[in-house]
Homo-oligomer: A and B are copies of this chain.
Amino acid sequence: MFANGGFARRAETPMPSTPNRTDLVEGLHYLSMRDHVAGRIASGELKPGERLPSERRLQTDVGMARGTIREGLFQLEAEGVIYRKDRSGWYVSPPPVVYDPTRWEGFMSYVEAQGRRPATETLSKTEIPCDAALAQIFRRPVGAPMYLIRRRRYVDDRAVLVESIVVDAVTAPGLLEHSLDRSLTSVLKSHYNISVARNQVDMQPCALTREEAEALRVKSGLPGLSVVRTSYDAQGRVVEHDREFWRHDALKISVDIRVR
């Protein structure tokens, strides 16, 4: 298409019906470009994890300026269909993992249950003094000792989230000496007999700032999902405060609620 002679006139069809998913012929170049690539993915020509042709290659393939090519790629990225590795190329996204905030299984469990391969990497673990914001959350004095744990988690070797966990050092003394590359909840349970009775979870679309973006090896400013979880024990004491930043295309939230 758009073979020669410049521009196939934008015939802009009036769109009477409701085609919903597959928008057919579009007058806009970046949309045809998007559909061109989406078609090659849907047809199975390009499979999850595979690399797309380079932008300059696509440019000659479809005969558009590079900016227009990129506009189409950004759309597919926003849809979660493709993702990029910085300066390496564009790749077809694998399916998202399903997360149910009302369940207690940790990341390792539910990723594995979905037939994917989870991994956790501890980026840092330090003791910090409680600042004003944490003081309010934990109801502890400013300056009280806290543990700060930063971890990166993977699904099938793709980094999907970074998180910062804060735990009251008085509640779980010596926590940092344990291995934190698995479930933190189970460490708290088995070594400190702490169990969670209540979870407060907030989720919101966000943009990944430089720190998070670097940890996920993506471009700063890409859309992400922020998940903030505060866990309480039966006495209402804060056990854990966790702030996660997910790739926006890695996660699907699913909640099943029954009236009692």
Contacts and interface: CB of A to CB of B under 8 A. Distances in A.
Contact of A252 (B18, B202, B207): B202
B253 A80 contact: no
Given A12-B210, A211-B20, A201 B257 contact: yes
A223 interface: yes
A188 to B, nearest CB: 14
Interface in A217-253: 220-223, 225-226, 243, 248-249, 251-253
Contact of A75 (B2, B204, B221, B253): B221
A25 to B, nearest CB: 12
A131 B41 CA distance: 26
Nearest to A225: B205
A159 to B, nearest CB: 17
A166 B2 CA distance: 10
A61 interface: no
Contact of A101 (B79, B223, B248, B255): B255
Nearest to A1: B164
Interface of A: 1-5, 7, 9-10, 12, 15, 18, 20-21, 23, 31, 34, 67, 75, 78-80, 96, 101-102, 104, 131, 133-134, 136, 164, 166, 196-207, 209-211, 220-223, 225-226, 243, 248-249, 251-259
Given A196-B259, A200-B256, 6 more contacts: A1-B164, A67-B67, A101-B255, A199-B256, A201-B256, A205-B248
